[in-house]
């Protein structure tokens, strides 16, 4: 993958170029990444410390994070992390956080985490986060103090990605830990499960298999509103929408700002009532109408807009209880 220079618009960081250091003491214990050096009386000659430098990451509460935003289809890049240990040789470990479900950008953003040309994990960002949740060792041998270990995170958004996903955001967070080598023998990678400080971490929940929108009505959907502040209503069409009629079947009505998310329930199976056309109304004026019978595309990625007021479907469930797949409207 090509690696053009990253910009702040693509990968946002609360703190740039920060060095993070952590320390513990004693044999058989671990140094977890932290933003400060503990200089209290518990520090002895067995102290292990970790430092990490990266140009576009933030380090908060023991966690290294990258926030990814504004990437367009076909773009790619690389971020490099330089990790060093201090005082004593140590083994280095990494674990990731779990992705949200769904994560529209993370599910399609391709990433590769590597060290010295060796791939540690690759695939969609979401799948890599799940794969590394219970920890991975970063070094084959003990890492000497002051000798940097480099990790590369390459990313690429495929050109065939749906329009609605381009420009959305996601994130990656991970924890680091180091164990000093001199008090714990290392019998090679046969001992990784014993030595791994993250081995007891609960794995991420696997995402539900999605189904195309086919025969059933849509039972409910989660939307994101990306428009000027207003009173947003979803109204079953043909029931006086926007007219002030007392016979208005209002499914949801709330004041929303740009970026707000909400859930709308269209049917409560097995009850199916009313027509399949839903009107999107802002401040009493109809913006657009969408269809929920699956005779027209419906699912994550669907955008309902008049150019000023916009709703995007983030997730949806049909009346049979099936999670719907992303739609492509290209």
Q: What is the per-residue pLDDT across 103-142, written as a single tens digit (0 to 9) for each?
A: 878 888 889 999 988 999 998 899 999 999 999 999 988 8
Q: Which residue has the tokens 């014993």?
A: 194
Tell me the pLDDT of the chain (330 aa) as tens digits. Answer: 443 333 333 333 222 222 333 333 333 444 554 332 322 222 222 456 788 787 777 777 667 888 887 788 888 888 888 888 877 888 889 999 999 877 878 888 889 999 988 999 998 899 999 999 999 999 988 889 888 899 999 988 887 776 667 677 888 888 888 888 876 655 544 444 457 888 899 999 887 788 888 878 898 899 989 899 999 999 998 754 444 444 578 999 999 998 888 989 898 877 888 889 999 999 999 999 999 998 888 998 899 999 999 999 988 988 888 889 888 654
- pLDDT for 228 equals 93
CB 233 within 8 A of CB 253: yes
Which residue in 180, 282, 271, 305 sits closest to 231, CA to CA?
A: 282
SS3 318: strand
Q: Which residue has the tokens 């929303």?
A: 256
Distance of CA 230 to the CA centre of its chain: 28
The H or E element containing residue 131 is helix 125-131
> What does 4-63 look like in DSSP terms, one character per residue?
PPP-TTTEE-SS-S-EEEEEE-STT-EEE--BS---STT--TT-EEEEEEETT-EEETTE
Burial class (CB in 10 A: 0-12, 13-18, 19+), 318: buried
Phi and psi angles of residue 29, each rounded to the nearest 5 degrees, phi first: -115, 170
Task: State the Cα–Cα distance between residues 65 and 80, nearest whole angstrom.
Answer: 13
DSSP 284: T
Longest CA–CA span in the chain (Å) reads 79
> What does 148-213 look like in DSSP terms, one character per residue?
-EEEEEEEE--TTS-TTTTT--EEEEEEEEEEESTTS----GGGHHHH-TTTTSPPPPPPPPPB-S
Task: State the Cα–Cα distance between residues 147 and 19, nearest whole angstrom.
Answer: 15
- pLDDT for 8 equals 30
β partners of residue 155:
77, 111
| Ranges of each domain in the chain | 11-195, 218-318
Task: State the Cα–Cα distance between residues 122 and 127, nearest whole angstrom.
Answer: 8
């Amino acid at each position: 993958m090509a690696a053009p220079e990253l910009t702040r618009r693509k990968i946002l960081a609360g703190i740039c170029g920060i060095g993070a250091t952590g320390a513990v003491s004693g044999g058989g214990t671990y140094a977890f990444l932290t933003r400060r050096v503990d200089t209290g009386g518990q520090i002895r000659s067995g102290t292990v410390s970790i430092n990490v430098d990266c140009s576009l990451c933030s380090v908060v509460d023991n966690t290294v994070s990258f926030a990814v935003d504004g990437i367009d289809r076909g773009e790619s890049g690389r971020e490099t992390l330089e990790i060093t240990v201090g005082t004593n040789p140590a083994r280095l470990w990494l674990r990731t956080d779990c992705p949200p479900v769904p994560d529209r950008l993370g599910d399609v953003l391709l990433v590769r985490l590597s060290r010295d040309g060796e791939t540690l994990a690759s695939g969609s960002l979401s799948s890599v986060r799940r794969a590394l949740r219970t920890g991975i060792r970063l070094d084959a041998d003990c890492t000497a103090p002051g000798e940097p270990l480099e990790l590369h995170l390459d990313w690429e958004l495929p050109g065939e990605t749906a329009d609605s996903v381009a420009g959305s955001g996601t994130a990656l967070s991970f924890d680091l830990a180091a164990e000093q080598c001199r008090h714990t023998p290392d019998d090679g990678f046969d001992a990784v499960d014993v030595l791994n400080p993250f081995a007891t971490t609960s794995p991420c929940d696997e995402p539900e298999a999605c189904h195309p929108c086919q025969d059933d009505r849509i039972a409910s959907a989660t939307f994101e509103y990306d428009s000027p502040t207003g009173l947003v209503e979803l109204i079953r069409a043909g029931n006086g929408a926007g007219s002030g009629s007392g016979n208005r079947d209002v499914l949801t009505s709330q004041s929303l700002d740009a970026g707000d998310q909400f859930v709308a329930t269209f049917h409560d199976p097995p009850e199916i009532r009313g027509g399949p056309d839903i009107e999107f109304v802002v401040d009493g004026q109809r913006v657009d109408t969408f269809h929920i019978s699956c005779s027209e595309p419906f699912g994550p990625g669907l955008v309902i807009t008049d150019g000023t007021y916009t709703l995007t479907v983030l997730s949806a469930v049909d009346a049979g209880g099936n999670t719907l797949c992303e739609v492509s409207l290209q």
